[in-house]
Amino acid sequence: MKFTVIIGLLVIAACSSGMQSQTGTSSHIFDPTDSTKIVKTDSEWKAQLTDEEYEVTRLKGTESAFSGEYWDNKKQGTYSCVCCDLELFSSETKFKSGTGWPSFYEPIVAENVGEITDNAYGWSRVEVVCNRCDAHLGHVFDDGPNPTGLRYCINSASLKFK
């Protein structure tokens, strides 16, 4: 148990280093209902995203806990992919997790969010990605609330709230 906690802290420390909260504008609009795959080059993503958005979504980074724009956002609305505008999560399923990252118990549409087993840092987790553009969003854990028991732990930097 103690070992698990130490590993967890190391992962958080490793993930959080050097990340700063930023705001930026992106001039990209895609149809939020069209799930046709979007593929772009690294330089195209870099031109479209802020540095932090790029690092989180395209390089699988993690923003620091309690640093993002949405962890404490209580407004009603929809969270879309910052890269391609695909609708991912609703405020209806957002809950207070105490982690410092926006947390949801289910996606708006299951097909919009893909899952990949992530063995980084010697710790097996399930990564979640945007199914249209493959943006890294965060991870899903099985310690969430009813009705699903799932906790989608998502980076604010991967999301745009409307």
Name which of residues 131 to 150 contact Fe ion (CB under 5 A): 132-133, 135
Question: Do residues 138 and 121 make contact, with C-beta atoms less than 8 angstroms apart?
Answer: no
Closer to Fe ion by CB, 4 or 47: give it. Answer: 47
153 catalytic per annotation: yes
Per-residue mark of binding to Fe ion, 113-132 (x: CB under 5 A): -----------------x-x
Q: Should residue 49 be labelled a site residue for Fe ion when binding is judged by CB under 5 A? A: no
**Quick check: helix, strand or coil at residue 13?**
helix
Question: Do residues 88 and 81 make contact, with C-beta atoms less than 8 angstroms apart?
Answer: yes
* Count of residues engaged in binding Fe ion, rule: CB under 5 A: 8
Close Cβ partners of 93 (under 8 Å, ≥ 6 residues apart): 104, 105, 106
Positions that interact with Fe ion (CB under 5 A)? 81, 83-84, 86, 130, 132-133, 135
